[in-house]
Structure 1
């Protein structure tokens, strides 16, 4: 343990931060972010109930029935990583090809990336006002008119929710206004959009999924938040996030949260457990925190456990944060934090709980570095990406 480690062991935990009134929290720059992280268990249950109401259920059914072709999920930044989480879930649940393609890629290269067979494009967005969001839809409605569109957004007044109301090729699902995060960083918007998208398969039991995730995540918050805060105060220069299958999207999102909230003062990388061996393992050094999002699938988890044992054998990394279900004690070293949650083997429940651990870790690291989670990297990032020129169609 370094001298710097010893100096950073003492700091505010969750109880201390919540003890400050709203004015104090706002002055310290974390009021919105903390509220939006902590509200997630409640909002998930509300989103699940929304999906079972007649009108939202009809919107999803109509969008799916409009085409039998492939499903493409799109968005930018965090919204894109929601698509990465959802694509494997939807392909398995619907028996249809599903893939995630960044909105920026569709804007510039849709002819070479969009599947040739027309299908359903699902646009995922917090505000629905970023330049790429509307630009992609406008272009594809004009140049690929056989594609159908489903917008899932947190903002009833955003461009995606309002601009296409009269086009029969477009369906819109708007989530509760509380999920439209006010903080610069996406937290409850990310997880609620993920849950909403997982409800597309007709027989999805989102109420059960949300309930499991909510109970496990509340346990995480109540029992492990201070351990995450202490881990965030360690002398870490890099964080490597590992996820398999759909959980790679959680790893990517968690890496982005740390990068955004620390303004790049903590370097990050997201990789699959098996992919880490193929070169990226060389970057795991003495100041590297390894964050392992374990799969609910026992077969997949066996590969993940092997990788963690290999890291121990090679003495790679400063410490590990391991989040999953049924974590063997022999995988947990004296400097590690293990969060063992009852998730019932659900992939979506696991991803929802795991992404919250990534959010809290980044939140506490930001505060430790003297940052303001509500508006990190001031002057560089904005809550909605600034407008830019959308160039015309290719001749």
Structure 2
């Protein structure tokens, strides 16, 4: 083990990691991931500016005209979890049925899962080059002509951004290049693609307001400044497993958190994502004395009440090693000694957006620090198993 990793065994303070020379960061294998996590508050502001620009407004308007009967969000891995965050937010704001369906499921079962058209399929992708991405679009252009397509991607050179320039049913919105994470794991790309999808709300009564993004950015920066070392200290404990809890749009964030930990630790920390109310129906048995629980609280008061009741139950039963609770108005009685409370500011409009973004960033930091603690390299974990873009595989029966 390198001297760097020996040092992180005793202290992995964010300030020390950030202050290390770039060459040291690269040698330790965390330079890209740390930069991409920390750039998020500023990148969110840039994405909002892009969404307010003429080009983005024209492309989003084109995708929504005529008004679709259904919207389906699709992607693979982290990208489908973005869709799961977006679906309830877009359905509430647009008044159109919205659901998330994984690209792999569309590739194999589109006839039984795709709602009747005319609809809008939104493909969410960091690179736009994974095997399913273009295959699903090609297949549905041929087999489901009533469906139009919108690709939101971080890669201007990817297939989703370049392959359909002459297809009138396809529109592409490309985010700023720096959101196209170089690290294997998606961090900045996840949260910025989430905001990109929320661009569909800009012309609605519940439109994504500048103040909402400002609050989300302030929450993330405050977390870096105030809570990062506590999260790092938690990652240094004897964590064998982690449970991620979220309701509504935060369930997609919980699923992303579970994947981040699994990816960054190469499966050394096993994970589970569940809804708060779903945890009681069997999955609570997953929680052991070496389990960390990450809880993302809803901004809706009635939902928040259910979630806090569940956290009190976990404390009463003395389940888990520690909790990280993220949200607005965290009651003191849901916390036990050793827990970390990440209090967030609330926004009057789009109230769930800041807590979803904060929950994702907390999960990113926890996985990042645990990876270092285990002697891993966050920029390229699970070497020989995972690749930044999924390798090509045979496509059976898909349109060319």
Q: TM-score, normalised by structure 1?
A: 0.96
Q: Does 1:83 align with 2:73?
A: no
Aligned equivalents of 1:49 and 1:393: distance in 2? 37
Paired position in structure 2 for 1:354 = 359
1:229-273 Cα offsets, whole Å, 9 max, x none, are 001111011100000011000000000000000000000000000
- The 5-angstrom pairing of residues 130-145 of structure 1 reads 130-145=130-145
Q: Does 1:210 align with 2:220?
A: no
1:40-90 Cα offsets, whole Å, 9 max, x none, are 000000100110011101111110113421000000000000000000000
Paired position in structure 1 for 2:345 = 342
RMSD after superposition? 1.3
Paired position in structure 1 for 2:394 = 389
Aligned equivalents of 2:61 and 2:187: distance in 1? 27
Aligned equivalents of 2:324 and 2:358: distance in 1? 14
Aligned equivalents of 1:348 and 1:59: distance in 2? 23
Deviation at 1:9, TM superposition (A): 7.6
- Report the secondary structure of 2:230's partner residue: helix
Deviation at 1:393, TM superposition (A): 4.7
Structure 1 window deviating more from structure 2 (91-100 vs 8-17): it is: 8-17
- The 5-angstrom pairing of residues 312-323 of structure 1 reads 312-323=315-326
Aligned equivalents of 1:279 and 1:226: distance in 2? 33
Aligned equivalents of 1:187 and 1:206: distance in 2? 23
Deviation at 1:209, TM superposition (A): 1.9
Paired position in structure 2 for 1:43 = 43
Match of 1:373 among 374, 378, 387: 378
Aligned equivalents of 1:209 and 1:192: distance in 2? 14
Q: Does 1:124 align with 2:124?
A: yes
Aligned equivalents of 2:314 and 2:218: distance in 1? 31
Aligned equivalents of 2:31 and 2:254: distance in 1? 25
Aligned equivalents of 1:300 and 1:383: distance in 2? 36
Paired position in structure 2 for 1:325 = 328
Deviation at 1:347, TM superposition (A): 0.8
Aligned equivalents of 1:393 and 1:231: distance in 2? 46
8 Å CA contact 1:8–1:234 kept in 2: the answer is: no
Structure 1 window deviating more from structure 2 (76-85 vs 204-213): it is: 204-213
Aligned equivalents of 2:51 and 2:275: distance in 1? 31
Paired position in structure 1 for 2:4 = none
1:154-180 Cα offsets, whole Å, 9 max, x none, are 000000000001000001100000000
- The 5-angstrom pairing of residues 145-294 of structure 1 reads 145-201=145-201, 202-203=203-204, 204-294=207-297
Paired position in structure 2 for 1:4 = none
Aligned equivalents of 1:33 and 1:246: distance in 2? 25
Aligned equivalents of 1:283 and 1:219: distance in 2? 32
Quick one: structure 1 residues 113 and 24, their matched pair in 2 at CA, closer, same or farther if it must change by over 3 Å?
Answer: same
Match of 1:301 among 301, 304, 309: 304
8 Å CA contact 1:241–1:254 kept in 2: the answer is: yes
- Report the secondary structure of 1:65's partner residue: coil
Deviation at 1:8, TM superposition (A): 9.0
- Report the secondary structure of 1:149's partner residue: strand
Aligned equivalents of 2:209 and 2:237: distance in 1? 37
8 Å CA contact 1:152–1:193 kept in 2: the answer is: yes
8 Å CA contact 1:49–1:207 kept in 2: the answer is: no
8 Å CA contact 1:295–1:324 kept in 2: the answer is: yes
Aligned equivalents of 1:97 and 1:363: distance in 2? 36
Aligned equivalents of 1:140 and 1:19: distance in 2? 49
